[in-house]
Amino acid sequence: MILVCGGAGYIGSHTVYELIDRGEEVIIVDNFQTGHRGALHPKAKLYDGDIRDKDFLDKVFGENNIDAVIHFAANSLVGDSMESPLKYYDNNLYGTLVLLKAMNRHGVKKIVFSSTAAVYGEPENIPIVETDKTEPTNPYGETKLAMEKMFKWADTAHDIKYISLRYFNVAGAHESGEIGEDHNPETHLIPLILQVPLGKRDFISIFGENYDTTDGTCIRDYIHITDLADAHILAVEKLRKDKISSIYNLGNGEGFSVKEMIEASRSVTGHPIPARISERRPGDPAKLIASSERAKKELGWKPKFTSVEDIIKSAWKWHQNKPKGFEA
Ligand code: UDP
């Protein structure tokens, strides 16, 4: 039985769908701060509560025979973290501390958790490998890095094995078009671009055109949500089999600028999508591209969505199906 913390969120809900497809029994913990009831899988058992609540976690672990945890319950926005750093330390770092203590009390020895490319800060090498320097440029990345270090010491002392997955830019939706990305407020590039052809905004803002990149706009490595969900399942299987802690980057190994993403979205949607240049967003590194060779080699991870057009098409299908997201 797998406990998914944050199983009503964007990445959590897609992972729950994949887990249940593969016959796993799933328990979801979510406080619905950012998650959606509409994203819950009907076959998963829900505990509505907060990972910072020790008694609540004791009930969840006490009532279920949990063998592994997949942990998504966190705040994850660079810009927001610059404005409210303490919220990130509280929910991300303190929340994970309470969770780890509960795992230790209940003898649960395996955890897969969401880390991020933001742990690297401005990269020294492209593509980025897991052994590269980690110097976050924002509190979001800083809390995720601190979480990784907490896991390392909890492994040494308490034998809790962890796999940390450092995601690059996640996008797209489940093939059914029934679940997808729905943040309020939305801050991510692809859903914001698609709001233009959906008639919800008049133009997309490009945050900075004077970065040291080919066209001056930030370059990111986009990965499809289903490929990301698959990596979590492979990570649980690896922990069950090898019982070795590890850290993996997850991206497609190819970078696209903000302008290229807008152009690709124009071609997918057939809409002109007007764009305007605005100020840089504080905390954004210029270029993030992953080497995911380690995940491919050690986890046997094989991403299926390797073209950004296909990733955008998948997001477009969801947004056309549910233009108002889960509220509809
Ligand atoms: N971005 C942009 N306009 C927007 C939203 C995002 O130019 O309206 C840029 C942002 O500055 C970054 C890239 O798009 O360089 C991806 O941002 P997103 O928030 O999607 O993901 P992040 O890289 O922060 O995880």
Q: Report how far ligand 1's centroid is from the alpha carbon of 258 (Å).
A: 7
In eight-state DSSP terms, residue 253 is S
Cα–Cα distance measured from residue 175 to residue 159, given in angstroms and rounded to the nearest whole number: 38
Q: Which residues pair with 114 in a beta bridge?
A: 165
Rounded percentage of the chain residues whose pLDDT exceeds 90: 97
Per-residue model confidence (pLDDT) at position 283: 82
- Banded pLDDT at 328 (limits 50, 70, 90): low
* Ligand 1 neighbour 188 (Cβ under 6 A): yes
* Residue-by-residue DSSP string for 159-217: --EEEEEEE-EEE---TTSSS----SS---HHHHHHHTTTTS-S-EEEE-S-SSSTTSS
Whether the per-residue pLDDT at 260 is higher than 80: the answer is yes
Look up 140 and say whether it is catalytic: yes
Cα–Cα distance measured from residue 109 to residue 23, given in angstroms and rounded to the nearest whole number: 21
Q: Which residue has the higher pLDDT, 122 or 108?
A: 108
CB 256 within 8 A of CB 264: yes
pLDDT per position as a tens digit, 5-50: 999 999 999 999 999 999 999 999 999 999 999 999 999 999 999 9
pLDDT per position as a tens digit, 286-299: 999 999 999 999 99
* Ligand 1 neighbour 147 (Cβ under 6 A): no
pLDDT per position as a tens digit, 49-80: 999 999 999 999 999 999 999 999 999 998 89
Q: Which residues, at least 6 apart from 201, have a Cβ–Cβ distance to it below 8 Å?
A: 192, 195
* Ligand 1 neighbour 257 (Cβ under 6 A): no
pLDDT per position as a tens digit, 88-119: 999 999 999 999 999 999 999 999 999 999 99
Burial of 279 by CB count in 10 Å (0-12 exposed, 13-18 middle, 19+ buried)? exposed
pLDDT per position as a tens digit, 172-222: 999 999 999 999 999 999 999 999 999 999 999 999 999 999 999 999 999
Query: Whose CA is closest to atom 25 on ligand 1?
Result: 169
